């Protein structure tokens, strides 16, 4: 068991978390940054043998390494809240309590995966999941890869596949051509994004398109594609699907923070409804790395009472918030996506629960009790978000532990321990 005591605790070491730590460090206060990845960077700046990190990611990493009063706990997870201002954490080697005075949540986001026939076949993954695998050394050389779903991430994944020697045979975007053209016409307001769009352009990009089924015997062999009113079959070796991102708000819910539109609600200082808790980045609303960086900086300054420097960042934040709003409007999901899955399509892959087994329930808690949906290894992070989208279920407060943990760590949560 290993405990820590700090003035500022930051959960997450993606762009928002690193920016928050860098800003807060100017105060000289003791800081702990806890992150579940082996190295800082989050999902967007994930490191690996097949990765060349952007210069800004390298800059933030080096800045963190040079700060003596910042302790980085990699490959560590939050298990639960403990008493007042304490967090129970665990890694593969140790567990313990972290006491803090101020907490900054930079928990990021994860992919929204919507079920459809064949989505559990080997060779089918999330779009961001495939990108992460490629960064970690997965070979796609010579493979035919279909990419489908919604959002700018699809273009980035296609670029990763091409650079790794794979062949992109389809890039299916569910949004309409009209929306994409309107969005493209607005990109001049953000020149870096406009240049990025030209760099990532792919000739297989198709709007108003959805993969409606993956087919194969032992693994994926082809996909059924609906483009407008036309349906056709396309051979492929891999399929990567992602329907945008959902904020990681489980810890914020557990801590009692107010949630609006499935994101952590914050004020101009990035402060949540709980006085000593701040939040920044994708957990406050999906907006990309640029917005995450500036929100993290504001949270770091505000949490250490450097309001003057926080104020200096607010105009830049407003600029990237406008971009986030434009993306959300352009790539909002079509209601037809709710009809992709059939009653016998698996919703919960961990517990083999079919969609038809939970359709009679009215909320997540009753579905878990009646079907074991969401009670597997991922603790409902995949099927829970999908079910909320498909059935319009309300959010439910998570229960501890937030992640599977060793018995010794969980023993700290016993009532007798909490009262001491």
DSSP secondary structure, 108-125, as one string: -EEE-----TTTTSTTEE
Among 303, 327, 351, the domain-final residue is 327
Residue 299's domain comprises: 4-110+246-327
Q: Is residue 79 part of a domain?
A: yes
CATH number at residue 117: 3.50.50.60
Tokens matching residue 97: 């309590």
Residues 195 and 238 in one domain: yes
Cα–Cα distance, 299 to 314 (Å, whole number) = 11
Q: Which residue has the tokens 């420097």?
A: 309
Residues 93 and 128 in one domain: no
Residues 231 and 118 in one domain: yes
Q: Is residue 419 part of a domain?
A: no
Q: Does residue 54 carry a pLDDT above 90? A: no
Q: How many CB atoms lie within 10 A of CB 414?
A: 9
Q: Is residue 192 part of a domain?
A: yes
Residues 137 and 104 in one domain: no
Residues 312 and 380 in one domain: no
Instruction: Convert the pLDDT of each residue in 304-339 to its tens digit.
Output: 999 999 999 999 999 999 999 999 999 999 999 999
Find the mean pLDDT for residues 165-177.
97
51-83 burial: b if 16+ Cβ within 10 Å, else e: bebeeebeebbeebeebeebbbbeebbbbbbbe
Residues 127 and 103 in one domain: no
Q: What are phi and psi of 284, to 5 degrees?
A: -100, 5
Q: Is residue 349 part of a domain?
A: yes
Residues 184 and 197 in one domain: yes
Q: Does residue 419 carry a pLDDT above 50? A: no
What is the pLDDT of the chain when averaged over all its residues? Answer: 93
Instruction: Convert the pLDDT of each residue in 209-233 to its tens digit.
Output: 999 999 999 999 999 999 999 999 9
Q: How many CB atoms lie within 10 A of CB 417?
A: 11
Rounded to a whole number, what is the distance in angstroms from the first to the last CA of the chain? 17
Residues 367 and 318 in one domain: no
Q: Does residue 417 carry a pLDDT above 90? A: no
pLDDT band with cut points at 50, 70 and 90 for residue 420 = very low
Among 327, 360, 378, the domain-final residue is 327
Q: Is residue 407 part of a domain?
A: no
CA distances from 3 to 22, 89, 99, 160 (A): 23, 9, 8, 40
Answer whether 238's CB lies under 8 Å from 214's CB. no
Lowest mean pLDDT of 58-72, 202-216, 286-300, name the range. Answer: 58-72
Nearest to 220 by CA among 240, 202, 242, 204: 240
> Exposed, middle or buried: residue 176 (CB in 10 Å: 0-12, 13-18, 19+)?
middle
Residues 238 and 250 in one domain: no
Lowest mean pLDDT of 190-204, 327-341, 406-420, name the range. Answer: 406-420
Q: Does residue 71 carry a pLDDT above 80? A: yes
Q: How far is CA 221 from the centre of its chain?
A: 28
Residues 133 and 144 in one domain: yes
Nearest to 119 by CA among 22, 224, 234: 224
Q: Is residue 105 part of a domain?
A: yes
- Strand 95-99 relative to strand 86-91: parallel, antiparallel, unpaired? antiparallel
Q: Is residue 398 part of a domain?
A: no
Largest pairwise CA distance in the chain: 66
Residues 85 and 186 in one domain: no
pTM of the predicted protein model: 0.94
Tally of structural domains, the chain: 3
Among 215, 243, 271, the domain-final residue is 243
Answer whether 354's CB lies under 8 Å from 344's CB. yes
Percentage of the chain beyond pLDDT 90 is: 82
Q: Is residue 42 part of a domain?
A: yes
Instruction: Check residue 333 and give its pLDDT.
Output: 96
In the 8-state DSSP scheme, what is residue 271? Answer: B
Q: Does residue 416 carry a pLDDT above 80? A: no
Residues 45 and 120 in one domain: no
């Amino acid at each position: 068991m290993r405990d820590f005591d700090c003035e500022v605790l930051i959960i997450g070491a993606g762009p928002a978390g690193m920016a928050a730590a860098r800003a807060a460090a100017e105060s000289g206060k003791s800081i702990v940054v806890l992150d579940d990845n082996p190295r800082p960077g989050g999902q967007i700046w994930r490191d690996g043998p097949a990765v060349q990190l952007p210069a800004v990611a390298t800059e933030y990493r080096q800045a963190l390494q040079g700060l003596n009063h910042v302790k980085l706990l990699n490959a560590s997870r939050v298990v639960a809240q403990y008493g007042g201002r304490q967090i129970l954490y665990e890694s593969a080697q140790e567990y313990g309590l972290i006491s803090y005075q101020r907490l900054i949540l930079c928990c990021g986001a994860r992919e929204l995966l919507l079920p459809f026939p064949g989505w559990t076949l080997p060779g089918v993954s999330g779009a961001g999941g495939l990108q992460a695998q490629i960064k970690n050394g997965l070979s796609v050389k010579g493979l035919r890869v279909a990419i489908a779903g919604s959002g700018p991430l699809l273009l980035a994944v296609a670029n990763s596949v091409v650079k790794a020697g794979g062949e992109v045979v389809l890039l299916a975007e569910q949004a309409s051509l009209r929306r994409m053209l309107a969005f493209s016409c607005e990109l001049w307001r953000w020149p870096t994004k406009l240049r990025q769009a030209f760099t990532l352009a792919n000739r297989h990009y198709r709007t108003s398109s959805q993969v409606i089924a993956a087919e194969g015997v032992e693994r994926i062999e082809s996909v059924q594609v609906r483009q407008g009113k036309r349906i056709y079959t396309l051979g492929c070796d891999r399929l990567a699907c992602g329907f945008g991102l959902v904020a990681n708000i489980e810890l914020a819910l557990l801590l009692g923070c107010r949630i609006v539109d499935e994101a952590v609600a914050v004020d101009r200082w990035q402060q949540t409804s709980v006085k000593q808790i701040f939040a920044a980045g994708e957990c406050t609303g999906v907006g990309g790395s640029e917005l995450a960086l500036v929100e993290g900086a504001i949270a770091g300054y505000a949490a250490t009472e450097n309001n003057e420097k926080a104020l200096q960042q607010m105009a830049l934040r407003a600029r990237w918030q406008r971009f986030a709003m434009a993306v959300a409007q352009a790539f909002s999901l079509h209601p037809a996506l709710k009809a992709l899955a059939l009653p016998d399509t698996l919703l919960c892959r961990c517990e083999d629960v079919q969609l038809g087994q939970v359709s009679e329930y009215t909320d997540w808690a009753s579905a878990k009790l009646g079907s074991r949906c969401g009670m597997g290894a991922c603790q409902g992070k995949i099927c829970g978000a999908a079910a909320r989208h498909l059935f319009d279920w309300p959010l439910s407060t998570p229960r501890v532990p937030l992640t599977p943990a060793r018995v010794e760590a969980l023993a700290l949560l016993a009532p007798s321990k909490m009262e001491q």
